[in-house]
Amino acid sequence: MMTDSDYSPVVGLEVHAELLTHSKMFCGCAVVDSVEAEPNTSVCEICTGMPGTLPVINQRAVEYALRVALALGCDIAQTSVFARKNYFYPDLPKGYQISQYELPLAVNGEMPIKTVDGQKIIRIRRVHLEEDTGKLYHREGYSLVDYNRSGVPLLEIVSEPDLSSVEEVKSYATGLRSLLRYLEVNSGDMDKGVIRFEANVSVLKEGQSDLGTRTEIKNLNSFRSMVRAIEYEIDRQVSILSSGGDVQQETLGWDEAAGETLSQRSKEEAHDYRYFPEPDLPPLGVDRTWIESVRSELPELPFEKTARFVNDLGLSFYAADVLAVDKSVAEFFEEALDHSPSLPAEKIANWISTDLFALLNEANIPISQSQVEPETIAELVTLVDEGTINATSAKIVLEHVFRNGGSPKEVVKELDLAIIQDPEILRRSVKEILESSPDQVDTYLSGKEGVSQWFFGQVMSVTGGRADPSVVHQILNDELKELKSRQGEG
């Protein structure tokens, strides 16, 4: 009997991303927020498919697509071709979607992702341009359609089947979202459906080299449903195969409420989209000069930032990646570094990605809206590093600044959080503890010297954790020695 561990998942992802252009792919209609805008307020004859209208290619959309394709290291086709993908659905007024099929804009790219074993390269099969469909709203007994989204530029990024775990799928999807935001071509706002996934899933039996039969799960609109659907599908296929059955190639839907994939159509019923070149559009020409000018304007990419943080700043790959994934966080981090160049980058990184992130998460705001500025972190870490406050106090200070603003130095004064190093003050505390704990002192004098830890704890506690531990240890040792020698005399 085969077990689950004899099979490993194989996943190829198709990612659809709306492009943040001002106007639609083939007409002048504005691209509007699909959640906020009144339905059917940004539509015209072209994007509603009236006969006799002619589409025109949006150059800006091509430029955005080029940004992504170049960032992924793809080969760009100097000539690519738009095609008609024919099918009938109420959200598709023309009866066909204009897409790229045989000759896509770009092929053969690479996307580095973070895995538990470090970095892995996921091959990109193709990147092409198409147009989005309208949106259906199902009410009880009837449906409504909003064509605002109809004709919005859509980029499709298709990976090779190189993803071998659910974690890798997550990492790839997160990485792509991050890349699209860096390139300023997509808002990354998953709640608004601006990035959608289709997952192709098969499983590979140990020792087998040919890929297994795959199924394709359509319309996954969040990371969460994508992950759940893929996990479900892997389990389903493994249980079919391990009981001697065969996986059928089919298209599946994901039922979020039931938590299962459902067959939509089998291979036999597969759509014949009757692709043919779009007769109303010329081939899309992209010349070298254009390619090079787009390439020269690419920003530093998230995976390049990660590499730089590792190589130049000595961060761990993990720490670097956590900061680099969001451009505004990466910029915040680098600004904090600029304010305190002599501090170890690792410490700054750590305060941002643990304590500050926790506060941001709790308040559910982005780093740009926080009262904590890069210089706040720099100042805070400096205060800890030079020994003015301990880590516990620093957390209190950070939270205080997060809620009320201000500078860490002021807050340390205001809340009286500075470390107590004054030997006189600390000696007084030590003596008080010893005097008020005769039993423990006897225990100590009877040879159980471990109890000195208890005295130490008491001193830390009466000083609210602010006493300098090394000074306390030293004084405590002195005082205990003193008691011992007096015992010897007496």
Which residue, 201 or 451, has its beta carbon nearer to ligand ADP?
201
Token pair 């071998």 is found at 164
Determine which residue in the list 7, 12, 43, 185 makes contact with ligand ADP, applying CB under 6 A.
Answer: 12
Alpha carbons 459 and 465: distance in angstroms, whole number: 8
Which residue, 48 or 213, has its beta carbon nearer to Zn ion?
48
32: contact with Zn ion by CB under 5 A: no
Q: How many residues bind Zn ion (CB under 5 A)?
A: 5
| Partner from ligand ADP, Zn ion, none binding residue 44, C-beta < 5-8 Å depending on class | Zn ion
61: contact with Zn ion by CB under 5 A: no
Tell me the CB-side half-sphere exposure of residue 318, using CA atoms within 13 A. Answer: 6
109: contact with ligand ADP by CB under 6 A: no
Tell me the per-residue interface mask from 209 to 248 with ligand ADP, x by CB under 6 A, - otherwise.
--xx-x-x--------------------------------
Whether residue 134 contacts residue 199, with contact meaning beta carbons closer than 8 Å, is answered with no
CB of 286 to Zn ion, least distance (A): 24
Residue type, 462: V
Whether residue 352 contacts residue 333, with contact meaning beta carbons closer than 8 Å, is answered with yes
- Sequence-separated (6 or more) residues with CB below 8 Å from residue 371: 401, 402, 403, 404, 405
Which of these, 234, 228, 231, lies nearest to 205 by C-alpha position?
A: 234
Nearest residue to ligand ADP, by Cβ distance, number only: 12
Which residue, 55 or 408, has its beta carbon nearer to Zn ion?
55
CB of 326 to Zn ion, least distance (A): 33
CB of 39 to Zn ion, least distance (A): 14
Determine which residue in the list 14, 18, 146, 156 makes contact with ligand ADP, applying CB under 6 A.
Answer: 14
Length of the chain: 490
CB of 196 to ligand ADP, least distance (A): 14
Burial class (CB in 10 A: 0-12, 13-18, 19+), 7: buried
- Strands 215-220 and 250-255, how do they pair? parallel
Burial class (CB in 10 A: 0-12, 13-18, 19+), 416: exposed
| Partner from ligand ADP, Zn ion, none binding residue 106, C-beta < 5-8 Å depending on class | none
CB of 152 to ligand ADP, least distance (A): 21
Question: Which residues between 333 and 392 bind Zn ion (CB under 5 A)?
Answer: none
Which residue, 197 or 333, has its beta carbon nearer to ligand ADP?
197
Alpha carbons 342 and 268: distance in angstroms, whole number: 66
Q: What is the DSSP letter of 351?
A: I
200: contact with ligand ADP by CB under 6 A: yes
Question: Which residues sit opposite 9 in a β-bridge?
Answer: 203
Which of these, 364, 366, 309, 300, lies nearest to 333 by C-alpha position?
A: 309
CB of 227 to ligand ADP, least distance (A): 16
202: contact with ligand ADP by CB under 6 A: yes
365: contact with ligand ADP by CB under 6 A: no
Distances (CA, A) of 340 to 25, 335, 396, 418: 47, 9, 21, 20
Determine which residue in the list 17, 19, 27, 83 makes contact with Zn ion, applying CB under 5 A.
Answer: 27
Span near Zn ion by CB under 5 A; candidates 28-36, 131-139, 282-290, 441-449? 28-36
Which of these, 21, 11, 46, 286, lies nearest to 155 by C-alpha position?
A: 21
Alpha carbons 47 and 29: distance in angstroms, whole number: 8
Which residue, 242 or 463, has its beta carbon nearer to ligand ADP?
242
CB of 138 to ligand ADP, least distance (A): 26
325: contact with Zn ion by CB under 5 A: no
Which residue, 69 or 417, has its beta carbon nearer to ligand ADP?
69
Determine which residue in the list 62, 124, 158, 234 makes contact with ligand ADP, applying CB under 6 A.
Answer: 158
**Dihedral, 400, 404, 405, 411 alpha carbons, nearest 10:** -40
10: contact with ligand ADP by CB under 6 A: yes
Q: Phi/psi of residue 269, each to 5°?
A: -90, 5
Determine which residue in the list 161, 175, 188, 408 makes contact with ligand ADP, applying CB under 6 A.
Answer: 161
Alpha carbons 410 and 349: distance in angstroms, whole number: 23
Q: For residue 430, how many other CB atoms are within 10 A of its CB?
A: 26
178: contact with ligand ADP by CB under 6 A: no
16: contact with ligand ADP by CB under 6 A: no
Q: Which residues here bind ligand ADP, judged by CB under 6 A?
A: 10-14, 125, 158-161, 200-202, 211-212, 214, 216
Q: Which residues here bind Zn ion, judged by CB under 5 A?
A: 27, 29, 44, 46-47
